[in-house]
Amino acid sequence: MPVVQIEMLPGRNLEQKRAMVKRVTEALVETINCKPERVKIIIREVAKEHLADSGVLYLDQE
Protein backbone atom coordinates (compact mmCIF):
# COMPACT_ATOMS: atom_id res chain seq x y z
CA MET A 1 0.00 0.00 0.00
CA PRO A 2 2.85 2.46 0.40
CA VAL A 3 2.06 5.91 -0.95
CA VAL A 4 5.20 7.97 -1.46
CA GLN A 5 5.13 11.73 -1.99
CA ILE A 6 8.36 13.30 -3.20
CA GLU A 7 8.82 17.07 -3.25
CA MET A 8 11.87 18.20 -5.19
CA LEU A 9 13.28 21.10 -7.15
CA PRO A 10 12.40 21.21 -10.86
CA GLY A 11 15.05 20.51 -13.45
CA ARG A 12 15.22 16.73 -13.59
CA ASN A 13 14.52 15.22 -16.97
CA LEU A 14 12.19 12.37 -17.77
CA GLU A 15 14.97 9.81 -17.72
CA GLN A 16 15.92 10.78 -14.19
CA LYS A 17 12.31 10.61 -13.01
CA ARG A 18 11.91 7.19 -14.63
CA ALA A 19 14.98 5.93 -12.84
CA MET A 20 13.95 7.54 -9.57
CA VAL A 21 10.52 5.90 -9.32
CA LYS A 22 11.98 2.55 -10.35
CA ARG A 23 14.73 2.68 -7.74
CA VAL A 24 12.54 4.04 -4.94
CA THR A 25 9.99 1.29 -5.60
CA GLU A 26 12.71 -1.36 -5.49
CA ALA A 27 14.01 0.13 -2.24
CA LEU A 28 10.59 -0.28 -0.63
CA VAL A 29 9.95 -3.75 -2.01
CA GLU A 30 13.28 -5.03 -0.76
CA THR A 31 13.25 -3.44 2.69
CA ILE A 32 9.64 -3.45 3.88
CA ASN A 33 8.56 -6.44 1.91
CA CYS A 34 5.63 -5.04 -0.05
CA LYS A 35 4.49 -5.93 -3.55
CA PRO A 36 5.73 -3.54 -6.25
CA GLU A 37 2.22 -3.04 -7.64
CA ARG A 38 1.23 -1.67 -4.25
CA VAL A 39 3.71 1.20 -4.41
CA LYS A 40 2.27 4.48 -5.65
CA ILE A 41 4.53 7.51 -6.06
CA ILE A 42 3.51 11.14 -6.47
CA ILE A 43 6.19 13.67 -7.50
CA ARG A 44 5.75 17.38 -6.85
CA GLU A 45 8.18 19.88 -8.24
CA VAL A 46 8.62 22.92 -6.03
CA ALA A 47 10.16 26.13 -7.38
CA LYS A 48 13.04 27.82 -5.56
CA GLU A 49 10.78 30.67 -4.58
CA HIS A 50 8.50 28.18 -2.83
CA LEU A 51 11.04 26.51 -0.61
CA ALA A 52 12.83 27.81 2.44
CA ASP A 53 15.44 26.71 4.94
CA SER A 54 16.39 28.73 8.03
CA GLY A 55 13.72 31.26 7.10
CA VAL A 56 15.31 32.08 3.72
CA LEU A 57 13.89 31.16 0.31
CA TYR A 58 16.10 28.87 -1.80
CA LEU A 59 15.97 31.59 -4.42
CA ASP A 60 17.88 33.87 -2.10
CA GLN A 61 20.41 31.29 -0.96
CA GLU A 62 22.44 31.08 -4.10
Give catalytic residue positions: 2
Q: How far is the CB of 15 from a second copy (least distance, A)?
A: 9
Residues contacting a second copy: total by CB under 8 A: 51
Q: Is 31 in the site for a second copy (CB under 8 A)?
A: yes
Calculate the CA 1 to chain-centre distance.
Answer: 17
Beta-carbon neighbour count of residue 39 at 10 Å? 19
CA distance linking residue 55 with residue 41, whole number of Å: 29
Q: Hey, what amino acid is at 10?
A: P
Interface residues toward a second copy, by CB under 8 A: 1-9, 12, 14, 16-28, 30-34, 36-37, 39-46, 49-60
